[in-house]
């Protein structure tokens, strides 16, 4: 496992039609649920930040194409099994998946933020590998804390990223 520390250096502006307001792209609701369907409020801003983080973390010079940015419901593993929501995106090759835990409040979803080494932000995880079953994120619940994990295949490499 490796870690990265990613400051939000973009000056992405949110337009007036989104619920996101404030200095960063993750300061407000990032998604909603309506009639059982999940939608992401400002997917372009999230994709830009996540792609920039992947390029820095994986030391790539070419454009990374994230696709299929989606909110999914998973069951936690660990101390207790409960519903949990994560935001997930994959590269076109399916060899890299990036995810973050979401908090569900009413009809809205927010990144699960906390104070970390660089200030208030959220933790994302990058799962990288060529597993036949795919390197895929999950959530482990341990002593009331939720942790992002990657699938258990031996070819899957996990990288934690603090996002600000």
Q: Would you list the domain boundaries of the chain?
A: 2-163
The whole model's pTM is what?
0.79
Q: How would residue 95 be classed by pLDDT, with cut points 50, 70 and 90? A: confident
How large a percentage of the chain has pLDDT more than 90?
29
The more confidently predicted of residues 10 and 124 is 124
Q: How would residue 21 be classed by pLDDT, with cut points 50, 70 and 90? A: very low
| 14, two tokens | 């949110």
- Give the pLDDT score at 140: 92
Encode 93-107: b = buried (16+ Cβ within 10 Å), e = exposed. eeebbbbbbbebeee
User: Count of alpha carbons within 13 Å of 75, Cβ hemisphere only?
Assistant: 5
- Give the pLDDT score at 76: 93
pLDDT at 148 over 50: yes
The more confidently predicted of residues 18 and 104 is 104
The more confidently predicted of residues 74 and 5 is 74
Instruction: Name, in order, each residue with C-beta under 8 angstroms of 9's C-beta and a sequence gap of 6 or more.
Output: 52
pLDDT digits over 121-146, tens only? 888 888 887 776 667 788 999 988 89
pLDDT at 158 over 70: yes
User: Is the Cα dihedral 130, 1, 160, 118 positive or negative?
Assistant: negative
pLDDT at 20 over 70: no
Work out the number of other CB atoms within 10 angstroms of the CB of residue 87: 26
Report d(CA 106, CA 92) in Å as an integer.
Answer: 32
The more confidently predicted of residues 119 and 26 is 119
How far is C-alpha 58 from the chain's CA centre?
Answer: 16
Measuring CA to CA, which residue among 148, 161, 154, 122 is closest to residue 135?
A: 154
């Amino acid at each position: 496992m490796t870690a990265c520390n990613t400051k939000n250096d973009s000056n992405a502006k949110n337009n007036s039609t989104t619920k996101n307001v404030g200095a960063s792209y993750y300061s407000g609701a990032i998604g909603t649920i309506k009639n059982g369907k999940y939608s992401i409020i400002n997917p372009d801003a999230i994709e830009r930040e996540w792609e920039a983080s992947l390029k820095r973390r994986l030391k790539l010079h070419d454009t990374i194409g994230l696709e299929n940015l989606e909110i999914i419901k998973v069951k936690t593993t660990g101390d207790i099994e409960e519903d949990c929501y994560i935001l997930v995106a994959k590269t076109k090759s399916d060899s890299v998946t990036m995810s973050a835990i979401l908090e569900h409040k009413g009809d809205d979803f927010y990144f699960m933020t906390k104070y970390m080494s660089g200030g208030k932000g959220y933790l994302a995880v990058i799962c990288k590998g060529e597993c036949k079953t795919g390197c895929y994120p999950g959530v482990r619940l341990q002593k009331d804390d939720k942790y992002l994990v990657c699938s258990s295949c031996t070819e899957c490499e996990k990288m934690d990223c603090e996002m600000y």
